[in-house]
Structure 1
Amino acid sequence: MTDGQTTADFFIRGSVSRSGPELVLATKPFAVDSTARSWWYVLSTAGLLAAAVAGTLLAPHVLLKVASSVLTGLLLLRLFVIYHDQQHHAILPKSKAAEWFMWVFGILSLSPSSIWRASHNHHHNHNSKIKGSHIGSFPIMTREHFEKAPKSARWLYLFMRHPLTILFGYLTIFLHGMCLRPFVMKPREHWDCFISVLVHAGIAGCLIGFAGWQAWLLTQIIPHFIASAIGSYLFYAQHNFPGVAFYDKSGWTYDRAALESSSYMKMGPVMAWFSANIGYHHIHHLNARIPFYRLPEVLEALPEMRNPKVTTLKPFDMYRCLSLKVWDTKQQRMVALDGTDRE
């Protein structure tokens, strides 16, 4: 390394065929948080969200209230992804103020910190494994296992992966999966899940009691429905897409799981902003400590990141992703129940 060459330059200009620990190490220069920048994104998004919520209650016309409601849902999605980054300690890792702020947000967003960290960290460590990947993610069965499973098990498996389950993620994935079920299973460990349900019900009661049913619908129901539906689909499609790879224990490696089992979801600039760059999911899985606002830098800087497995939010691509049901060990592909892979 020359005197004028930075550490980042050294990593970025290295071999274009890096893999394993060497590739993960190449991302390390980008896994650096800017405290001022991170707080700006947190507080500006929270401020916009508060203004949008106020719009659902105070806007002078019903159409403005509806527009504010939709905007609230999209901003709730953005702040949730930022929350997700903070839970990974990618941003504001040493800030107690950020920890408390995000703990409260987790309660309000039906994604309490205790269950989110436990399930999502498991997901990152077991992404693309045929066995064990169901915790914190959508379940995966091999075609052989599915065909031999009892009817009730097949029904539950297909229900958990059904498009309507994803669409109504507000109830199925967040209210039930992230709050009610964890508390019932482990009440001492996930007491904050019960708090989240109580707070959510309390907000609903206050809105209905003081502002009416319309306010409840526009301020709570529609925003949570939008954020949960989009968030649930993004999470599903970024690990269930044509060309995804799954492995048994012998074939699994951390970098392969990131690059072959996590997609790059191409979005326009508006949706990329509202989703806080979660589309760069292959990079996020390679190094979860990279702040969301630096992920595009990694795509540009590291040649190994430039040929990802891609999906989009176009209707046909969504159909292809949602059609995939089981892992075919012979074809080494995710396929529909009729055996086709939709590619």
Structure 2
Amino acid sequence: MDLDEVTIRRLSRHCLRFRDPDDRAAWFQFGTTLALFLAAAGLMLFGAATGNYALLALFLPAGGLLVRLFGVQHDCGHNSFFTSRRLNRSVGRFLSLFTLTPFGYWSRSHAVHHTTAGDLGRRGIGDVDTVTIDEYRRMTPAARRRYRLYRNPLLLHVVGPPVYFILFQRSPFGQSLPFRDAWRSIMGLNLALLLVYGGLIAAFGASVVALAILPTAFVASWVGGWLFFVQHQFEDTHWEESEDWSMQRAALIGSSYYVMPKVLQWFTGNIGLHHIHHLNCRIPNYRLQACLDGEPMLGNLSRLSLRDSFRCIGLALWDPAARKLVAF
């Protein structure tokens, strides 16, 4: 669906009404989610330490709660969760201990993603690597094999997310932003992780901590990686050359409205309403649904059901002529 400028401006004005944080709602979401997560993590640690391995089944809800905490950290990175900028930074950095994501570095790279999503001339920071059909045809055979390997569903959706969140984010080398921007944030978090999880290992043993922590981290990384993929990698997404690119248009028709059951929407912190988030990233996640409910047209843009989302797995190339993402 294409949108005229008048409609885009109208939708943008509507979203402005929901951009102010509500500290009471923010504290309630943060406090309840953190308490539930820590309770689940504590029970799993107890189960691994005492041999009550049935408690380790809590890794599934704990993984969901970790995704929800990542949503809080994500909003803190946009300075949209609390009214206080300092509180946003403090809570965002604190949550890095659980999400394993360096708050300062990730926030900067994610801000670049918001200002470049859907722009063919500015790809490569905070997005899934995507090439056009013509670019793919001009690749060498070796480059094609590398791109096919990268877009292989097993690597992209199963192996890749845990490797990225648990291992790749530990190194300031090879990141999308300059080394100096990555070093302090990443290495500072690494030191904090060493102290916290090193202390747990010293107290309970490495195998106990691994049994209690890693399954949750794997689940959260798989869910988070999948959400990030379907938010922009759907058939009718939007890419445009830089001279014709508009951030508002790219937000509304290049970011999906991922329609999920309410329980999944809760665990994922409303991030499925991604078209609204990209249109105005200052709207806290706990106000996205009200924003959607207040403007019926937003509910009809870029809709992607759970069933439809699985058809996105094979998509890999942007076809400028058809204006669609297509398979190899």
TM over 0.5: yes
Pairing partner for 1:325 from 312, 316, 321: 316
Q: Which residue of 2 aligns with 1:226?
A: 219
Aligned-partner SS, 2:300:
coil
CA 36–125 in structure 1, closer or farther in 2 if over 3 Å, else same: same
Pairing 1:11-22 to 2, within 5 Å after superposition: 18-22=6-10
Residue 229 of structure 1: how far off its partner (Å): 0.8
* CA distance in 2 between partners of 1:243 and 1:107 (Å): 37
Deviation at 1:207, TM superposition (A): 4.6
Q: CA deviation at 1:176?
A: 4.6
C-alpha contact (below 8 Å) 1:142/1:329 kept by paired residues: yes
Read off the aligned partner of 2:285 and give its amino acid letter: F
Measured in 2, the distance between the counterparts of 1:280 and 1:239 equals 12
Mean Cα deviation higher: 44-53 or 191-200: 191-200
1:178 matched to 2:166? The reply is no
Cross-structure match for 2:103:
113
Structure 2 counterpart of 1:144 = 134
Task: Tell me how far apart the structure 1 counterparts of residues 150 and 201 of structure 2 sit (CA, whole Å).
Answer: 31
- Write the letter of the residue equivalent to 2:274: H
Equivalent position amino acid for 1:189 in 2: D
Give me the whole-angstrom Cα distance separating, in 2, the residues matched to 1:250 and 1:18. Answer: 20
Alignment correspondent of 1:5: none
Unaligned runs of 5+ in 2: none
Provide the TM-score with structure 1 as the length reference. Answer: 0.84
Matched, 1:308 2:314: no
In 2: Cα distance, 1:137 partner to 1:286 partner: 17
Q: 2:239 is matched with which residue?
A: 246
CA shift, 1:101, in A, is 2.4
CA distance in 2, matches of 1:81, 1:312: 21
What do you get for the CA RMSD once the two structures are aligned?
2.5
Q: What are structure 1's unaligned runs of at least 5 residues?
A: 1-15, 338-343
Paired residue for 1:23, among 11, 16, 26?
Answer: 11
CA-CA distance at 1:62 after TM superposition? 3.7
Contact 1:178–1:193 (Cα < 8 Å) also in 2: yes
Q: Deviations over 1:265-324 (max 9, x none)?
A: 11111111100101111111111111111111111111331211222333xx34311100
d(CA) in 2 for partners of 1:205, 1:179: 15
Residue 66 of structure 2 aligns to a residue whose secondary structure is helix
Question: Between Structure 1 and Structure 2, how many residues are aligned?
Answer: 320
How far did residue 187 of structure 1 move?
Answer: 4.3
Partner of residue 189, structure 1: 181
Determine if contact 2:122/2:242 at 8 Å carries over to the other structure: no
Residue aligned with 1:327, SS: strand
Q: How far does the alpha carbon of each residue in 1:158-181 deviate from its partner, in whole angstroms, 9 at most, with x for none? A: 343332232234443324543425
Higher mean alpha-carbon deviation, 181-190 vs 79-88, is at 181-190
Please give the secondary structure, in 2, of the residue aligned with 1:165. Answer: helix
Distance 1:186 1:199 in 2: 22
Range with bigger deviation, 181-190 or 240-249: 181-190
SS state at 1:188 partner: helix
**Does residue 134 of the first structure (1) align with residue 117 of the second (2)?**
no
SS at match of 2:180: coil
- Pair 1:61–1:312, CA change in 2 (3 A): farther
The correspondence of residues 195-210 of structure 1 with structure 2, limited to 5 A, is 195-200=188-193, 205-210=198-203
CA distance in 2, matches of 1:169, 1:207: 27
1:213 offset after TM fit, Å? Answer: 5.0
What is the CA-CA distance between 1:108 and the residue it aligns to? Answer: 3.8
Name the TM-score, length of structure 2 as normaliser: 0.88
Q: What amino acid does structure 2 have at the position aligned with 1:321?
A: C
Matching of residues 260-299 of structure 1 within 5 Å: 260-299=253-292
Partner of residue 46 from structure 1, selected from 34, 49, 69: 34
* Residue 213 (structure 2) pairs with residue 216 (structure 1): no
Q: Percent of aligned pairs with the same residue?
A: 29
Deviation at 1:74, TM superposition (A): 1.2
